[in-house]
Amino acid sequence: MQDTLRAYKASIFQALAHPTRIAILEVLRDGELSARTIQEKLSLEQANLSQHLAILRTRQIVANRKDGNQVFYSIPNPVLVEVLDIMRRYFQTNLADAVRVLEEVEREAPAR
């Protein structure tokens, strides 16, 4: 069972492992948007957006619905937004630590 869960987690992280897909999720975090609106907000080519949305749909990270000739996308599980927020905090913490180390190195470096 643990291996199955690990494989599932890995497949989700693989789907999230592209900056464009993260950007798509960030614009969807506040609610449903049409594919056209996502495309305009992110300045993406339609074919490029379609490829990324297909990957996110396949992993059930985004949901879609049709209304006439438009397709709307949303994040069906709000826990994913929390995961993205946690990753932002993780990045900020690591960045703050890196800045502290750099400041220490600069203080300890001999004057030139």
CATH number given to 2-76: 1.10.10.10
Distances (CA, A) of 61 to 14, 17, 58, 95, 96: 12, 13, 8, 28, 30
Whole-model pTM: value is: 0.83
Residue with tokens 């949901």: 63
Distance between CA atoms of residues 74 and 47, nearest Å: 19
- The pLDDT value recorded for residue 28 is 98
- The pLDDT value recorded for residue 111 is 63
Map out the domains of the chain as residue ranges. Answer: 2-76, 78-112
Each residue's pLDDT tens digit, 54-86? 999 999 999 999 999 999 999 999 999 999 999
Each residue's pLDDT tens digit, 14-62? 999 999 999 999 999 999 999 999 999 999 999 999 999 999 999 999 9
Residue 31 gets the label, from left (phi > 0), alpha (psi -120 to 50) or beta, of left
